[in-house]
């Protein structure tokens, strides 16, 4: 059919071309006469030649597809032939690394200054620098003030510290030891000296605290080894009026890792904490100490000769805490069970659980941590006198048990960090400071205990800009539900602190650190006292003259506020100090 169409097209084109060739060629188109008679006829005659063109045969043939396939018959043989191989090791030329300058480390440093109200400050440190097997250090510090607050008796204070430390490192373990001594002097100046004339020695408290601590710890490089450490020590605190507390403690930990759930590292271990305290004092000092009720004792015919022995007590608490750290993918769980027997003056047994979960809500951005945690502790007399320098040397101390239920969110985005935490604490035997009823001038504090439920919320924010500007902000709000007391003595409802540091050209460092505290109440002679809010603004500056020499300036209480941390114990309105630091 395609061939016939092609033939028809060819005949048409040929006839059209012949008709064109039969026309007369006209060359003069300008002078040509116009024809009027167009009735002409043309007869063409030719010889008839019948021709039959050759027929085109279709070359396309139908085919049949058969699904069966015949497997050809192959025959093959395995030729065993060994090709020799040779290993050629080419020498790797070591890269040339230019030696970088090592920063200079100085063995010693001396820092000294002098402040308002005759306030000297001195601190010295000498230590080993880059020894990989043996380290040691000697540290000494003195800080005191020799000027009294207006309208109050002598309010001087002094603190002296000496610390010796040494550490020996072997291949698989290390051993360190620390010997420390602290001496502090405080005056119970919380009374009106206009009507009461006392010599300074009669209301001056002198404390001596000396201790020793040593630790052994393994340094295994293999994670599957049994890692462990043991620490033991002794501490002795004594005061001017023969009160003495001797404390022994032993702590240890042993743990081992193993694989579970797709080769995730799990940790199984046990912690042990043993602390035993012995306390005694000479009851005759209740009569001889002039700031006690000694003026009433002669009227009551008080006599200490008939007393059998002096008051003593001892309290030992053991914590045995097996724990398991579970990890699968990004989920982590810390669980522990604290078996805590108490013996000595009182026998008791506590079983306290711990379960803390940790996982990312947004990977590398937002993390959650929360759970329940329980612990028990007998706070030492040394901790009380550091927290409150005006505490009585004769205290009846009880163990404190805490069960904390909390939730916490942490976020780290570039140079910014945010942390928010809230929780509920059940505290058994929480201590609170109250004016001692045995104190004749009501100028010292004792402690009372109560079972409380504490609700708290706190937040932390920090931001760093190119190592030149750093900002840290902390806030906390808390409230107490008391069982026996009317309110929580000396516990602030809201506290906040700000730390702003700015570094100028790596030479000048400026620190701005204000703090704010409000909602503090005290109980004085059975009457509730509301303490004024505390606004403490501090400014510190340091100028780095060289790697060895720098100068510093400290300005404290720039609000010139005579605030009270404890009732009837005001602070100085302003304190400034200037000094220098030198390394050698």
Q: Which of 92-101, 438-447, 511-520, 573-582 has the lowest mean pLDDT?
A: 92-101
Q: How far is CA 3 from CA 14, 16, 59, in A?
A: 17, 21, 13
Q: How far is CA 148 from CA 49, 193, 555, in A?
A: 149, 12, 19
Split at pLDDT 50, 70, 90, the class of 29 is very low
Alpha-carbon distance of 261 to 266, in angstroms, equals 9
* Confidence (pLDDT) at 64: 62
pLDDT at residue 193 greater than cutoff 80: no
Q: By the 8 A CB rule, do 284 and 294 touch?
A: no
Here the tokens at position 77 are: 């043989």
Alpha-carbon distance of 343 to 31, in angstroms, equals 147
Q: What is the mean pLDDT of residues 151-168?
A: 94
- Delimit the domains of the chain by residue range: 104-194
* 55-75 pLDDT, tens digit each: 666 666 666 655 666 677 777
* Confidence (pLDDT) at 417: 94
DSSP state of 473: E
* Confidence (pLDDT) at 130: 84
Split at pLDDT 50, 70, 90, the class of 202 is confident
- Return the closest-CA partner of residue 418 out of 467, 361, 468: 361
Averaged confidence pLDDT in the chain: 85
248, burial (CB in 10 Å: exposed 0-12, middle 13-18, buried 19+)? middle
Q: How far is CA 97 from CA 94, 100, 178, in A?
A: 9, 9, 41
- The three-state secondary structure class of 108 is strand
* 224-276 pLDDT, tens digit each: 899 999 999 999 999 887 789 999 999 999 999 988 877 788 999 999 999 99
Alpha-carbon distance of 425 to 420, in angstroms, equals 17
Alpha helices (H) along 439-541: none
Here the tokens at position 236 are: 């002795």
Alpha-carbon distance of 555 to 540, in angstroms, equals 6
* Confidence (pLDDT) at 232: 96
* Confidence (pLDDT) at 136: 95
Q: Which of 183-197, 383-397, 493-507, 564-578 has the lowest mean pLDDT?
A: 183-197
Q: How far is CA 492 from CA 180, 489, 561, in A?
A: 33, 9, 18
Q: By the 8 A CB rule, do 512 and 500 touch?
A: yes
pTM of the model: 0.78
* 116-128 pLDDT, tens digit each: 999 999 999 999 9
* Confidence (pLDDT) at 240: 81
Each as own residue / partner, the long-range contacts of residues 130-137 (CB below 8 Å, 24 or more positions apart, any chain) are: 130/105, 132/169, 133/168, 133/169, 133/170, 134/166, 134/167, 134/168, 134/169, 135/165, 135/166, 135/167, 135/169, 136/165, 136/166, 136/167, 137/163, 137/164, 137/165, 137/166
Alpha-carbon distance of 310 to 301, in angstroms, equals 19
Place of tokens 């309290």: 315
- Return the closest-CA partner of residue 361 out of 393, 407, 297: 407
Each as own residue / partner, the long-range contacts of residues 192-196 (CB below 8 Å, 24 or more positions apart, any chain) are: 192/151, 192/152, 193/152, 193/153, 194/151, 196/441
* Confidence (pLDDT) at 173: 95
DSSP state of 100: P
* Confidence (pLDDT) at 570: 93
DSSP state of 290: T
pLDDT at residue 40 greater than cutoff 60: no
- Return the closest-CA partner of residue 484 out of 435, 442, 446, 523: 523
Q: By the 8 A CB rule, do 123 and 137 touch?
A: no
Which one is predicted more confidently, 440 or 435? Answer: 435
* Confidence (pLDDT) at 47: 62
Rg (CA), the chain: 47
Q: Which of 9-23, 348-362, 538-552 has the lowest mean pLDDT?
A: 9-23
Q: By the 8 A CB rule, do 289 and 373 touch?
A: no
**Other Cβ atoms closer than 10 A to 97:** 6
* Confidence (pLDDT) at 301: 44
* 476-510 pLDDT, tens digit each: 999 999 999 999 999 999 999 999 999 998 899 99
* Confidence (pLDDT) at 299: 40
Q: By the 8 A CB rule, do 12 and 4 touch?
A: no
* Confidence (pLDDT) at 394: 81
């Amino acid at each position: 059919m395609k061939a016939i169409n092609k033939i028809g097209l060819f005949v048409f084109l040929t006839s059209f071309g012949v008709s064109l060739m039969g026309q007369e060629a006209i060359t003069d188109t300008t002078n040509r006469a116009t024809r009027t008679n167009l009735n002409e006829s043309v007869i063409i005659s030719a010889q008839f030649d019948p021709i039959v063109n050759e027929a085109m045969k279709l070359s396309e043939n139908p085919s049949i597809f058969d699904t069966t396939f015949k497997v050809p018959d192959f025959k093959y043989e395995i030729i065993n032939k060994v090709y020799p191989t040779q290993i050629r090791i080419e020498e790797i030329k070591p890269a040339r690394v230019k030696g970088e300058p090592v920063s200079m480390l100085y063995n010693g440093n001396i820092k000294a200054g002098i402040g308002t109200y005759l306030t000297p400050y001195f601190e010295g440190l000498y230590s080993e620098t880059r020894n990989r097997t043996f380290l040691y250090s000697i540290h000494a510090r003195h800080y005191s003030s020799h000027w009294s607050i207006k309208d109050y008796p002598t309010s001087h204070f002094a603190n002296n510290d000496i610390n010796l430390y040494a550490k020996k490192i072997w291949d698989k373990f290390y051993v360190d030891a620390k010997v420390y001594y602290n001496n502090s002097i405080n005056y119970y100046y919380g009374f009106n000296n206009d009507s009461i004339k006392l010599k300074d020695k009669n209301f001056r408290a002198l404390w001596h605290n000396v201790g020793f601590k040593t630790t052994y710890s393994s340094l295994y490089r293999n994670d599957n080894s049994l890692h462990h450490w043991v620490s033991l020590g002794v501490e002795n605190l004594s005061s001017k009026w023969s009160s003495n507390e001797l404390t022994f403690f032993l702590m240890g930990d042993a743990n081992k890792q193993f694989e579970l759930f797709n080769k995730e590292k799990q940790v199984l271990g046990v912690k042990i904490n043993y602390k035993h305290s012995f306390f005694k004092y000479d009851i005759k000092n209740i009569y001889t100490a002039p700031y006690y009720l000694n003026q009433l004792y002669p009227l009551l015919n008080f006599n200490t000769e008939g007393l059998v022995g002096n008051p003593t007590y001892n309290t030992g608490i053991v914590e045995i805490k097996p724990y398991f750290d579970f990890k699968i993918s990004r989920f982590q769980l810390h669980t522990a069970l604290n078996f805590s027997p108490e013996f000595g003056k009182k026998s008791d047994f506590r079983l306290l659980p711990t379960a803390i979960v940790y996982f990312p809500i947004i990977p590398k951005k937002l993390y959650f941590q929360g759970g329940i945690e329980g612990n028990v502790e007998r706070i030492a007399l040394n901790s009380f006198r550091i927290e409150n320098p005006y505490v009585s040397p004769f205290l009846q101390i009880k163990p404190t048990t805490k069960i904390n239920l909390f939730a916490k969110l942490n976020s780290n985005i570039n140079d910014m960090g945010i942390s928010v935490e809230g929780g509920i604490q059940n505290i058994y035997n929480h201590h609170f400071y109250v004016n001692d009823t045995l104190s004749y001038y009501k100028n010292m504090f004792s402690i009372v205990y109560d079972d409380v439920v504490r609700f708290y919320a706190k937040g932390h924010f920090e931001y760093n800009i190119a190592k030149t500007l750093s900002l840290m902000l902390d806030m906390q709000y808390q409230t107490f539900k008391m069982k026996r007391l009317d309110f929580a003595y000396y516990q602030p409802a809201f506290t906040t602190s700000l730390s702003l540091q700015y570094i100028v050209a790596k030479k000048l460092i400026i620190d701005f650190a204000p703090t704010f505290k409000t909602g503090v109440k005290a109980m004085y002679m059975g009457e509730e006292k509301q303490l004024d809010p505390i606004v403490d603004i501090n400014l510190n500056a340091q100028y780095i003259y060289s790697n060895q020499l720098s100068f510093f300036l400290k300005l404290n209480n720039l609000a010139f506020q005579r605030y009270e941390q404890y009732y009837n114990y005001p602070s100085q309105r302003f304190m400034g100090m200037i000094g220098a630091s030198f390394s050698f």
